[in-house]
C-alpha cells in the first residue's frame, strides 16, 4: 500500500470506541482510527491497522510530537473527546458516529484550533486489505471504492493511495466519512448531527438508573454494553473486535463479533438486576425467538449467531499480519455448531428475571421449548463454557440446566410441565452430587476428573448450593492454590495450558461476587479492585489480564466481563449498606430469581 502511513501499535489498554449501535470505530489515545467495519459490526473492515499496521488501513492525525493527556466521553454518550498537548498547547479531537433521526451512517470528526499545521491522512484498505483501493475526487469530496464519501473543512487531495487535508495553525477543522453521497455538510449541519447523537445516547441512558458504590464503573460498563448492542434487532455481540490475542504472538485469536446465548443471557440478567426499564431485555427475547433453527436435527438454537440470525460463518484466515504478530487473523468462528448447555441455561435464568421483574410472559413459547430441550438433553456431553474441542460431561452445563429448569418451572401455569421440569432439575442435582466432585470434595470441571474451574463459583450465585457448602469451600481452596495470583484468577482449559494466557477477568469478578455472598467486604473489595486495575481509562475491559506485564489481552470491550462487574456490584451494594439498613444476607442473583 504505497504511500500509506504505518500506524502506531497501541496496547489494548489504549483503545477507545465510538459507535452508533450498528457498528463501531476503534481509536488509540492519539486519535487515530485503527479499526472500522462500516454499516455493521461483522462486516468487512475499511481500517484494520489494529491488526496490521503496515497495510491494514488507518485514519491518522499526524502530530508526531503530541502527548496524549486525557480522554473522556461526553456525559453518558458515545461521543469521545481526545485531548492532546503539543509543546504545552492543547488540541482536542471530538469523534462520534451519527445517531438519531436524519443522521447519515458513518464517522464525524471535529478538530479544535490547531497548535500547528496538522495533516489529517486517510488511508483506507477495503475488505480487510483484500480489495484494490479506488479514490475518486468528486466536486465536494472524495469517493472511496464507490461506497464511502469523505468530506472535510479544508481541501482534500489524493496521492499515493491516501486522501489528506491540512488544518492550518490557528484554525479549526472537521471531517465526515459517510456511507452515502451527500452535499458537503455545513458546520451547522455537523453541529445538528452532534446534538441528535447526544440526545440519542442520553435517551438510552435513562433506561437504567443506578446509584451506589462503583457508580462510575457501572456507568462505563453500561456504555460498553450499549456500544455492543445492534439497535435494529437487539442482539448484543461479545466484543467489537476480532483476533486480539489471548496469548501475545500466539494463535489463540478469535472473532467475537457475534451474539452468544451465554453472554447475552448474563448481560440481560445483569441489566435487569441493575434496574433496567425492560426495553432492552424484551428485545433480547425477541432476538432469541428469531434465532430458532429450522432443522429439527439441529439444536433449537446455535450457541451463537450472526446479527441476521444465521449461524456464524466458518473461519476464514485473513491476509493481515496480526496484532503484534499474533496470527492467524480470523473472520468467522468454528464453534457455532457446538452444543453448549450453559447457553440455554443462561437464557432461562434471564427469562425468569425478566418475567419476575416486569410481570410478563413474552415469548413464552420459545422459552418453553428451550426448557424442554434442556430437560431432554442435559445428560449429553457438550463443549462447555470455554468451547473446548472435544465434548465432555462438563459440570457447569449440568448445574445451570438444573437451576434454569427449577426457576422457569415457577413461570408455567401447566402443573404437569412444572413438575416434569422440577423432577429433571432434581435428577441433575443427584447426578452432580454423585459424579462431579473430585477427590478433594471440590466441584470438578468435568465429571469424574480432578481439575477445577473458576466458573464453579457461580453455583451459589445461581442458588445451586449454599455459599458455605463444603463442596464450594473446597472448590475455593483449590482455586486459590492452583489458579490464583495477585487476587486474579485463571480458568481451567482442557485443550490448552491456561496459565500461558492471561488471568480471566470475568471469573475473577465472579470470585469477588462469591465473597460478597459470604459477607466478606474486605476480600470482595480487594478482588474487585484487582480486576478493575485491568480496565482502561474509559472503563473498558478486555477478556484477560497479564499480571506480569500489566497488559490487557483479548478482544475488547468484553461484554461478558462488563456483565459480571454489574452483577457483582449490584450484590455489593445490597450486602454492604450501612449496618442499620442491612438486616439479611445479600440479595444475590439466586434471591432475585426466587422472587
**What pLDDT score does 586 carry?**
39
166 and 238 inside one domain? no
Alpha carbon 237 to its chain centroid, in Å, reads 6
**Residue 75: how many CB atoms within 10 A of its CB?**
12
Would 583 be classed as within a structural domain?
yes
167 and 278 inside one domain:
no
Q: For residue 557, is the peptide bond before it cis, meaning its omega torsion is within 30 degrees of 0?
A: yes
Q: What is the DSSP string of 273-299?
A: HTT--SHHHHHHHHHHHHT--S-TTS-
> Does any domain span residue 215?
no
| Shared-domain flag, residues 133 and 266 | no
Same domain, 590 and 489: yes
Neighbours of 139 (CB within 10 A): 5
| Residue 193 domain flag | no
Instruction: Please give the pLDDT value at position 2.
Output: 47
Q: Identify whether residues 430 and 549 lie together within a single domain.
A: yes
Regarding whether 141 and 84 lie in a shared domain, the answer is yes
16 and 111 belong to one structural domain: yes
Domain total of the chain: 2
Place of cell 466519512: 177
501-538 pLDDT tens trace? 999 999 999 999 999 999 999 999 999 999 999 999 99
Cell triple for residue 110? 471535529
> What is the DSSP track for 1-22?
-TTPPPPP---GGG-EEEE-SS
Distance from C-alpha of 340 to C-alpha of 380, rounded to nearest angstrom: 10
**By the 8 A CB rule, do 385 and 394 touch?**
yes
Phi, psi (5° rounding) for residue 497? -75, 105
pLDDT given at position 592: 65
Answer yes or no: do 474 and 587 share one domain: yes
What is the C-alpha to C-alpha distance for residues 372 and 366, in angstroms, rounded to an integer?
A: 10
Angle, to 10 degrees, between the axis of helix 215-227 and the axis of helix 559-575?
150
| SS3 (DSSP) at 507 | helix
Under the phi-then-psi rule, with left for phi > 0, alpha for psi from -120 to 50, and beta for the rest, what region is 407? alpha
Q: 125, 112, 117: which is closest to 52 by C-alpha?
A: 125
**In a domain? residue 87:** yes
Rounded (5°) CA angle 33-39-45: 50
Buried b (16+ CB within 10 A) or exposed e, 140-167: ebbbbeeebbbbbbeebeeeebbbbbbb
The whole-number mean pLDDT for each consecutive block of 10 residues of the chain, a chain of 595 residues, reads: 67 98 97 98 98 97 94 97 95 96 92 97 98 93 97 96 97 97 94 96 93 95 97 95 96 96 90 85 84 73 90 93 96 90 94 90 92 96 96 98 97 96 98 98 98 98 97 98 97 94 98 97 97 98 96 97 96 75 44 60
> What does the block give as the cell for 167?
488544518
d(C-alpha 182, C-alpha 419), whole Å: 61
> Which grid coordinates are listed for 584?
439479611
What span, in angstroms and rounded, lies between the C-alpha atoms of 8 and 69? 17
Same domain, 243 and 333: yes
3, part of any domain: no
Give yes or no for a cis peptide into 183 (omega within 30° of 0).
Answer: no
Strands 67-73 and 148-152: unpaired
Whether 474 and 569 share a structural domain = yes
Last residue of a domain, one of 124, 154, 186: 186
84 is a domain residue: yes
Give the CATH number, domain containing residue 300. 1.50.10.10
Whether 174 and 187 have beta carbons less than 8 Å apart is answered as yes
Indicate the DSSP class of residue 5. P
- Domain range for residue 35? 12-186
Residue where one domain finishes, among candidates 135, 167, 186: 186
Residue 198 lies in a domain: no
The answer to whether residue 217 sits within a structural domain is: no
- Number of Cβ within a 10 Å radius of residue 334: 15
Which of 154, 170, 186 is where one domain is finished?
186
State whether 59 and 170 are in the same domain. Answer: yes
**Cell digits of residue 42:** 461483522
Q: Would you say 45 and 127 are in contact if contact means Cβ atoms under 8 Å apart?
A: yes
386: closest CA among 347, 342, 321?
A: 342
Three-state DSSP class for residue 203? helix
Pairing of strands 162-167, 118-123: antiparallel
Q: Which of 567, 595, 469 is nearest to 210 (CA)?
A: 567
State the distance between the two ends of the chain, measured CA to CA, in whole angstroms: 60
Domain co-membership, 251 together with 368: yes
Each residue's pLDDT tens digit, 382-438:
999 999 999 999 999 999 999 999 999 999 999 999 999 999 999 999 999 999 999
CB 165 within 8 A of CB 171: no
Amino acid at each position: 500500500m504505497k504511500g500509506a502511513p504505518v500506524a502506531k501499535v497501541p496496547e489494548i489498554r489504549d483503545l477507545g470506541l465510538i459507535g452508533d449501535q450498528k457498528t463501531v470505530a476503534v481509536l488509540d489515545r492519539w486519535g487515530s482510527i485503527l479499526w472500522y467495519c462500516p454499516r455493521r459490526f461483522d462486516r468487512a473492515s475499511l481500517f484494520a491497522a489494529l491488526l496490521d499496521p503496515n497495510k491494514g488501513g488507518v485514519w491518522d492525525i499526524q502530530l508526531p510530537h503530541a502527548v496524549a493527556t486525557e480522554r473522556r466521553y461526553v456525559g453518558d454518550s458515545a461521543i469521545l473527546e481526545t485531548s492532546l498537548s503539543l509543546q504545552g498547547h492543547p488540541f482536542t479531537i471530538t469523534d462520534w458516529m451519527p445517531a438519531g433521526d436524519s443522521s447519515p451512517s458513518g464517522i464525524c470528526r471535529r478538530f479544535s484550533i490547531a497548535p500547528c499545521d496538522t495533516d489529517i491522512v486517510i488511508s483506507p484498505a477495503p475488505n480487510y486489505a483484500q480489495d484494490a483501493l479506488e479514490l475518486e475526487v468528486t466536486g465536494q469530496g472524495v469517493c472511496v471504492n464507490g461506497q464511502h464519501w469523505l468530506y472535510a473543512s479544508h481541501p482534500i487531495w489524493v496521492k499515493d493511495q491516501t486522501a489528506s487535508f491540512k488544518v492550518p495553525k490557528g484554525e479549526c477543522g472537521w471531517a465526515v466519512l459517510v456511507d452515502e453521497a451527500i452535499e458537503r455538510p455545513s458546520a451547522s449541519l455537523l453541529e445538528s448531527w452532534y446534538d441528535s447523537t447526544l440526545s440519542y445516547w442520553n435517551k438510552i441512558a435513562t433506561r437504567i438508573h443506578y446509584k451506589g458504590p462503583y457508580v462510575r464503573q457501572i456507568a462505563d460498563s453500561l456504555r460498553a454494553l450499549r456500544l455492543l448492542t445492534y439497535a435494529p434487532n437487539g442482539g448484543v455481540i461479545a466484543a467489537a473486535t476480532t483476533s486480539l490475542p489471548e496469548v501475545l504472538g500466539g494463535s489463540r485469536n478469535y472473532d467475537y463479533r457475534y451474539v452468544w446465548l451465554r453472554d447475552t443471557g448474563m448481560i440481560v440478567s445483569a441489566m435487569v438486576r441493575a434496574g433496567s426499564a425492560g426495553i432492552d431485555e424484551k428485545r433480547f427475547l425477541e432476538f432469541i425467538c428469531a434465532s430458532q433453527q429450522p432443522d429439527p436435527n439441529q439444536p433449537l438454537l446455535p450457541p451463537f449467531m450472526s446479527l441476521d440470525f444465521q449461524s456464524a460463518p466458518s473461519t476464514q484466515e485473513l491476509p493481515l499480519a496480526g496484532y503484534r504478530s499474533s496470527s492467524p487473523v480470523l473472520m468467522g468462528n468454528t464453534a457455532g455448531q457446538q452444543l453448549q448447555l450453559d447457553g440455554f441455561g443462561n437464557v432461562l435464568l434471564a427469562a425468569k428475571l425478566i418475567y419476575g421483574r416486569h410481570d410478563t410472559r413474552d415469548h413464552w413459547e420459545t422459552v418453553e421449548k428451550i426448557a424442554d430441550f434442556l430437560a431432554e438433553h442435559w445428560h449429553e456431553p457438550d463443549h462447555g463454557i470455554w468451547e473446548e474441542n472435544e465434548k465432555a460431561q462438563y459440570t457447569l452445563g449440568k448445574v445451570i440446566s438444573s437451576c434454569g429448569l427449577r426457576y422457569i418451572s415457577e413461570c408455567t401455569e401447566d402443573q404437569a410441565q412444572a413438575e416434569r421440569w422440577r423432577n429433571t432439575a432434581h435428577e441433575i442435582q443427584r447426578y452432580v452430587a454423585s459424579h462431579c466432585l473430585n477427590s478433594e470434595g471440590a466441584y470438578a470441571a468435568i465429571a469424574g476428573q480432578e481439575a477445577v474451574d473458576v466458573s464453579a463459583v457461580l453455583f451459589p450465585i445461581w442458588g445451586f448450593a449454599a455459599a458455605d457448602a463444603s463442596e464450594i469451600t473446597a472448590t475455593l481452596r483449590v482455586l486459590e492454590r492452583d489458579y490464583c495470583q495477585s487476587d486474579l484468577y485463571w480458568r481451567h482449559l482442557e485443550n490448552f495450558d491456561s496459565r500461558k494466557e492471561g488471568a480471566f477477568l470475568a471469573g475473577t469478578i465472579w470470585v469477588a461476587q462469591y465473597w460478597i455472598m459470604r459477607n466478606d467486604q474486605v476480600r470482595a473489595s480487594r478482588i474487585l479492585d484487582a480486576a478493575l486495575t485491568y480496565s482502561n481509562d474509559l472503563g473498558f475491559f478486555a477478556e484477560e489480564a497479564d499480571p506480569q506485564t500489566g497488559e490487557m489481552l483479548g478482544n475488547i470491550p468484553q461484554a461478558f466481563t462488563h456483565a459480571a462487574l454489574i452483577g457483582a456490584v449490584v450484590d455489593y451494594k445490597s450486602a454492604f449498606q450501612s449496618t442499620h439498613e442491612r438486616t439479611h444476607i445479600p440479595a444475590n442473583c439466586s434471591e432475585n430469581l426466587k422472587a
